[in-house]
Amino acid sequence: MLAAKLDHLANAGNGKPRFSRTGFVIESGVKNAAVVATLMAANNGFLFKNGDARIGETLAKTPRSRQADDASADDYDTFPHLVIIGNMLIVMKALATEADVDRVRERIESMGFRAHIMPGEQTTAIGITGNPKPVDPVMFEGMPGVAEAIRVSKPYKLVSREVRHENSIIRVHGIPVGGDQPMFCGGPCSVEGREQILEAAHAVKKAGGQLLRGGAYKPRTSPYSFQGLGEEGLQLLAEAREATGLGIVTEAIDVETFDLVEKYTDCIQIGARNMQNYSLLKRAGKARKPVLLKRGMSATLEEFLMAAEYVLSEGNYEVILCERGVRTFADHTRNTLDLSIVPAVQKLSHLPIVVDPSHGTGKRDSVHSMALAGIAAGASGLLVEVHPQPDRAWSDGAQTVYPHQFAEIVADAKAIAELLLSRRAAVHATT
Ligand code: PEP
Ligand code: MN
C-alpha cells in the first residue's frame, strides 16, 4: 500500500518537482519507489534535491532494515523536527520528543549560539545562529532523537525552504498572508490628516481591502519634501483601524522612532531604501510584530533574502517580502516591476511575497495591469497606493489610484486567484 503510494508519487514526478498531500517534495529524476521510500525512512519524510550527493550518502548510510518495505505508514505521515547548525541542518527523528528537541537546543545554547524554534503547522524547525564557523555534526548525531546532520547549501538558512518545506503563513491583524487567498492592502503613500486617512480607510474597506497602508515617517529623496506627520500620523492610523477594523501597515525608517511605530502598527514596513540598513533590520528582528520587507532598488534575489535572514536571525520569523520594482534603463516607468522574482523567491524560500504595482510602475494607468500580473505570477497579495483625491496627494500622487480603481483591482485579482486555485485543484484531483 505504502509502496504503491510512493511509486505513484515518484513516477508522477515526471521531471518536475511535485508536492504530495503531506508536503513532501519529489524532485525530478527521483523515480524509483525504493529510493523514495528509503529516503523517507532515513530522513523521516524529508526528501532532498535530485542530483545532490547527499542522496547517495543517505542511501549508503541507511541500514537495510530501514529500506523501502520497512517504511511504515508512520514514517510517511509524521513530520520531522529540523535543527540548523551553521551551515548544517540537523534532522530530528519523527518520533523525537519535545525533551529531545530541548536537549539539542540546550546544547546549542551551551556552545554560545542561538537556537531558533521555527514555527510551523506540521514541521518544527530549530535553527542556530551566531556561529561563525561550521559546527562538527558529531556533536549532535549521537543525541537521542537526532536522525542526522546535513549541510545547508545556501548562505541564508532560516528563510530557506531547505529548513521549512511548507509555505509560511504570516497573519497581520488576523489576515493571513501566504495562504491560498491573496491579501489586499491599500491606502495613501502618506498620512496627511484625519479626514484624508479616515476617508481613505473607509474607501479601502469598501473596495475589499483588508489592510490599510500609509506612511507616518516618509523616506523622501529630497530633504525639503514632506517627511510625514510622525507620531500624530501613527495615532491617526490607529484611529482609522478603530473606525474600520482594518489592520495597519506603516513604515519604520530608523531605529530612533522604531519603538513608536511598533507600538501603533500591526505590520512594520521596511522600505526599499532601508533594505540593507542592518541595524534597522536587527531591530525589526527583535520586534514581535510582522515585518513587510521591500526589495531594494538594486537588490539581487540573494541580497533580498539575506536582508530577510537578518530579521529572522534575531528571532522574528514573521516576514513578508515585497517586490516594488527595481532600477533599470527603462524610462517609461518609475521602476521596472520584476515579477520574475516571485517564482524565484517561492522556489528558495518559505516566506510569502507580495507585489507593489504602485512604486513598481509609478504610473496610475499601469497599476491595474501590473497588479493582476503580480497575482497571476503567484504573489500572495498586493500593496497599492489609494487616495480619495490622488491628484491632491502630498506624495506619490501620480502612481496613486482612485478608490473605484482599487475596487476593480481587488475584484479582478480575486477572480484570477480563484481561477488559478480551482485549476490547480483540478490538476491535483487527476494526479
Ligand atoms: C512607500 O511604500 O510609500 C515607499 C516609500 O515604498 P518604497 O520603500 O518601496 O519606495
Ligand atoms: Mn509611496
Q: What does the domain layout of the chain look like in residue ranges? A: 1-78, 79-165, 170-430
Q: How far away, in angstroms, is 421 Cα from ligand 1 center?
A: 30
Does residue 387 line the site of ligand 1, with CB under 6 A?
A: no
Give the per-residue SS3 of the chain: CHHHHHHHHHHHCCCCCEECCCCCEECCCCCCHHHHHHHHHHHCCCCCCCCCHHHHHHHHHCCHHHCHHHCCHHHHHCCCEEEEECCEEEEECCCCCHHHHHHHHHHHHHCCCEEEEECCCCCEEEEEECCCCCCCCHHHHCCCCEEEEEECCCCCCCCECCCCCCCCCEEECCEEECCCCCEEEEECCECCCHHHHHHHHHHHHHCCCCEEECECCCCCCCCCCCCCCCHHHHHHHHHHHHHHCCEEEEECCCCCCHHHHHHHCCEEEECHHHCCCHHHHHHHHHCCCCEEEECCCCCCHHHHHHHHHHHHHCCCCCEEEEECCECCCCCCCCCECCCCHHHHHHHHECCCEEECHHHHHCCHHHHHHHHHHHHHCCCCEEEEEECCCHHHCCCCHHHCECHHHHHHHHHHHHHHHHHHHHHHHHHHHHC
Burial (0-12, 13-18, 19+ Cβ within 10 Å), 419: exposed
Does residue 324 line the site of ligand 1, with CB under 6 A?
A: yes
Q: Which ligand is nearest to the CA of 390?
A: 2
Q: How far away, in angstroms, is 311 Cα from ligand 1 center?
A: 19
- Residue 190: strand pairing partners: 215
- CA nearest to 283, candidates 263, 256, 318: 256
Which amino acid, 29?
A: G
Q: What is the pLDDT of residue 142?
A: 85
- Residue 150: strand pairing partners: 89
Give the CA dihedral 422, 426, 427, 428, nearest 10 degrees.
100
d(CA 344, CA 191): 33
Q: How far away, in angstroms, is 191 Cα from ligand 1 center?
A: 13
CATH H superfamily, domain 170-430: Aldolase class I (3.20.20.70)
Q: Which ligand is nearest to the CA of 219?
A: 1
Q: Nearest residue CA, atom 9 of ligand 1?
A: 272
Residues near 185 by Cβ (< 8 Å), separated by ≥ 6? 209, 210, 211, 212, 213, 249, 354, 381, 382, 383, 384
Q: Nearest residue CA, atom 10 of ligand 1?
A: 272
CA distances from residue 118 to 45, 48, 127, 173, 325 in whole angstroms, order as listed: 18, 19, 7, 21, 30
Sign of CA dihedral 232, 233, 234, 237: positive
Q: How far away, in angstroms, is 420 Cα from ligand 1 center?
A: 29
Q: How many CB atoms lie within 10 A of CB 81?
A: 27
Q: What is the pLDDT of residue 86?
A: 54
Does residue 187 line the site of ligand 1, with CB under 6 A?
A: no
Say if CB 327 and CB 297 are below 8 A apart.
yes
Say if CB 121 and CB 133 are below 8 A apart.
no
Q: How far away, in angstroms, is 378 Cα from ligand 2 center?
A: 23
Q: Nearest residue CA, atom 3 of ligand 1?
A: 189
d(CA 212, CA 202): 10
Burial (0-12, 13-18, 19+ Cβ within 10 Å), 379: buried
Residues near 322 by Cβ (< 8 Å), separated by ≥ 6? 292, 293, 294, 295, 353, 354, 355, 356, 383
In the chain (431 residues long), the average pLDDT of successive 10-residue segments reads 45 36 32 41 35 32 34 33 58 80 88 72 63 72 78 79 88 98 98 98 98 97 95 98 98 98 98 98 97 98 97 94 98 98 97 98 98 98 98 98 98 98 89 75
Q: Ligand 1, closest atom to CA 271? A: 8
Which architecture characterizes domain 79-165 according to CATH?
2-Layer Sandwich (3.30)
d(CA 411, CA 415): 6
Q: What is the pLDDT of residue 317?
A: 93
d(CA 317, CA 298): 24
Q: Nearest residue CA, atom 8 of ligand 1?
A: 271
Does residue 294 line the site of ligand 1, with CB under 6 A?
A: yes
CB burial readout 193-219, b (16+ within 10 A) else e: eeebbbbbbbbbbebebbbbbbbbbbe
Q: How far away, in angstroms, is 272 Cα from ligand 1 center?
A: 6
Q: In what order do the strands lie in the sheet with 146-151?
A: 114-118, 124-129, 81-85, 88-92, 146-151
Does residue 272 line the site of ligand 1, with CB under 6 A?
A: yes
- CA nearest to 212, candidates 252, 163, 250: 250
Q: Which ligand is nearest to the CA of 215?
A: 1
